[in-house]
Amino acid sequence: NAGVMQNPRHLVRRRGQEARLRCSPMKGHSHVYWYRQLPEEGLKFMVYLQKENIIDESGMPKERFSAEFPKEGPSILRIQQVVRGDSAAYFCASSPGGPYQETQYFGPGTRLLVL
């Protein structure tokens, strides 16, 4: 039973480029969450999605960041025109039901480095 999968594991971008991070939830999970971790910090919630719907994007910066979870395929976190401050580890998690008192299972993360 495969866990949450994320790719790429490492991504290097130059300032101004676009970064696309992919997440495939655990089998049977239809709820996906994205988190960002800066060095020496905890994980910070960004966005919560169900298939084809963004449920809560209150933690996501209003500009340059977007997320989707299409009917078919993985969830995508997209960062346009990356800046050095976007360098961080981005984690995806999934759960079988919604976030109320549900355990979220995390993927290995994508480490984004912006040069």
Query: Site residues (CB under 8 A) for another protein?
Result: 4, 6, 33, 35, 40-45, 48, 55-59, 91, 93, 98-109, 111
6 or 75: CB nearest another protein: 6
Q: Minimum distance between the CB of residue 11 and another protein, rounded to whole angstroms?
A: 14
Nearest distance from C-beta of residue 41 to another protein, angstroms? 6
Give least dist CB 16 to another protein, A.
27
* Pick 28 or 72: Cβ nearer another protein: 28
* Of 1 and 14, CB closest to another protein: 1
The DSSP string of the chain is ----EEE-SEEEE-TT--EEEEEEPPTT--EEEEEEE-TTS-EEEEEEEETTEEEE-TTS-SSSEEEE--SSS-EEEEE-S--GGG-EEEEEEEESS-STT---EE---EEEEE-
Cα separation, 63 vs 83, in Å, equals 12
| 82 vs 110, beta carbon nearer another protein | 110
